[in-house]
Amino acid sequence: MPKSTQNDDTTFYIVDEELALLLPATRKAWENKLKRETITAYETPPQISARMKAVSYKRFPELQEKIDQYVADMQKGKATDFSLEDFPEEAVDSFLYSIGASGISAFIDMYLRSPDAQGNAEIMEAVAALSRARHTILEKNAAVFSD
């Protein structure tokens, strides 16, 4: 999972649906770090498809296989045991860009639905980092989509 974004802070940009998934103890532990995500410039499926095609993982063939399986599972609405820990560090940013804010939201949702993840500070910090990556992508999308 990404360890940080540009700010390297612990802000957790959260949407209402995600906030509703937080266990009371998790909400209390993160209450001063939660910030409502207000940008809604999510990608369309064709935009995500174009991004996925634009990113190459030729240097990491085993990673490409995992990504292909993850995408196939997501399209079928199936859960997957896919983890960003499977990624070489230099491939994470490209992957997050390729799946966009929509794909990052799916990861966040998956983690927040796991009570074990919510009880693990390291995992929650990584989820917060995902939220910051999503926020950055949403900012960029908003700038591009508004043109």
Closest C-alpha to 137, from 106, 95, 97: 97
* Residue 1 pLDDT grade (very low, low, confident, very high; cuts 50, 70, 90): very low
SS3 13: strand
Half-sphere exposure of 119 (CA within 13 A, CB side): 3
Type of residue found at 118: Q
* Residue 80 pLDDT grade (very low, low, confident, very high; cuts 50, 70, 90): low
What distance in Å separates the CA atoms of residue 52 and residue 97, rounded to the nearest whole number?
Answer: 9
pLDDT of residue 22: 94
Residue 75 has a CB neighbour count (10 Å cut-off) of: 9
List 140's β-bridge partners, or say none.
Answer: none
pLDDT of residue 107: 86
> Given a cut of 50, is residue 53 above it in pLDDT?
yes
SS3 15: coil
**Average pLDDT value for residue range 80-92:** 76
What distance in Å separates the CA atoms of residue 109 and residue 103, rounded to the nearest whole number?
Answer: 10
